Amino acid sequence: MRVLSPRMRRRDDEAMLDRVEHFRARRRLSGLDTRLLDEVVDVVGNEGRDPAEYVTSLFDEHQVVFLGEHAPSRQAGLFLQELVPELQAAGVWCLGIEFACVDDQPILDALLMAPRFDETLARSAVFRWGLRHHFAYREYLDVLRVVWEVNQDRDPLAPMFRVVALDYDIEVDAVTASADLRSPYAWEHLRPRGSAARHMADVILREFVDRNHRALVVGRTQHSLTRLRRLPHHVCDAIDYELIDGHVVGAANHVYATIADRAATVLLHQPLPADGEMGDFTLAADGVLDAAFARPNGPKYPVAFDVRSGTLGHLACSTAADRGELSTRATGWVFLDSIDRLTAPTPIHDVVTEDTVVDARRYALDADLRGPDATPEAFADAVATAAAAAELGWTQII
């Protein structure tokens, strides 16, 4: 995590306060309420906890904890690495990940039980899902390395720490080689085993709940919300989503329908989907959290805090597509860094090689990458572009 001098931090914080004021004025919201900001600062200062400690503490009350993020970041990937040994220390031995396919579970199991860490094997375990979403980042791959290290150092009588893949391979042979799989019309042919949401929920219930295992489940926000069923969003739900009664249902919604409050949601502080009138995404809690952390007396971070009730839970999200309060979205909130200082994860530039480019073309969604002329360099460029787009997205909310 980037360390700033006090002067640079202060300048950035002043810019964030100005940005939030401008953001609220454009949306015809009232100016920032200094009394509310003082109260938020006090509550987080008094009740906030170390993020890893907070997440692991939730397993005292819950069996499955979903940790959701809007888009990947370097800070989030490093936080996941930090979490793994803390989970082990708390007696939680299972990590569910959206960014791998169940078809590659044998690769994951072999990787984490091997006498040495095989990075080539690790890459192959997340290869197909990563190609689908241009997701190939050093910080997230190294989560597997940390799990391997934990297993190497564990007590011989302790269980192995498992990483369980949740999604499944799409049926690429059901469409032509030139098809653009970013079109919503293709997906009825690509999901023969049902929606991703239902499939991932079934894996979670089978692998963790039915076996009475506690588990942290890491994925995108749309699959991490337990109680809130979202309105469709033209960016987040452009393809590959499940719609029930006019609302998008994610994996955590299905799990919550089965085990209720034994499941909980923690969200990393990032933008929320908006209705598109003022942009596709908006500041969480209408910018109040960002402003509170940017104040001269603002809370120190990284920090996690409960948002089930009280001042923090009642913070309005009136500019978000789903409106409501912060408490409707999560049990807990993790503030790793100001969104102006979140950085893109580190792309793995050689994720596709001359030996794997033929398979890569099959599993890519982009028609340009599915063609016979797509090179390993083209895939590297796609990953780098996706990382840059995520970082840019956090700074474009005005």
pLDDT, tens digit, 9 for 90 and up, residues 240-284 = 999 999 999 999 999 999 999 999 999 999 999 999 899 999 999
pTM above 0.85, yes or no: yes
Q: What is the pLDDT along the chain (398 residues), one digit of tens a residue?
A: 455 555 556 778 999 999 999 999 999 999 999 999 999 999 999 999 999 999 999 999 999 999 999 999 999 999 999 999 999 999 999 999 999 999 999 999 999 999 999 999 999 999 999 999 999 999 999 999 999 999 999 988 889 999 999 999 999 988 888 788 998 888 989 999 999 999 999 999 999 999 999 999 999 999 999 999 999 999 999 999 999 999 999 999 999 999 999 999 999 999 999 998 999 999 999 999 999 999 999 999 999 999 999 999 999 999 999 999 999 999 999 999 999 899 999 999 899 999 999 999 999 999 999 999 999 999 999 999 999 998 888 888 88
Strand partners, 316: 325
- Cβ atoms of 180 and 193 within 8 Å: the answer is no
CA distance 36 to 288: 8
Domain ranges of the chain: 6-395
Q: What is the pLDDT of residues 148-199, one digit of tens each?
A: 999 999 988 889 999 999 999 999 988 888 788 998 888 989 999 999 999 9
CA separation (Å) from 179 to 172, 240, 337, 346?
A: 10, 15, 40, 29
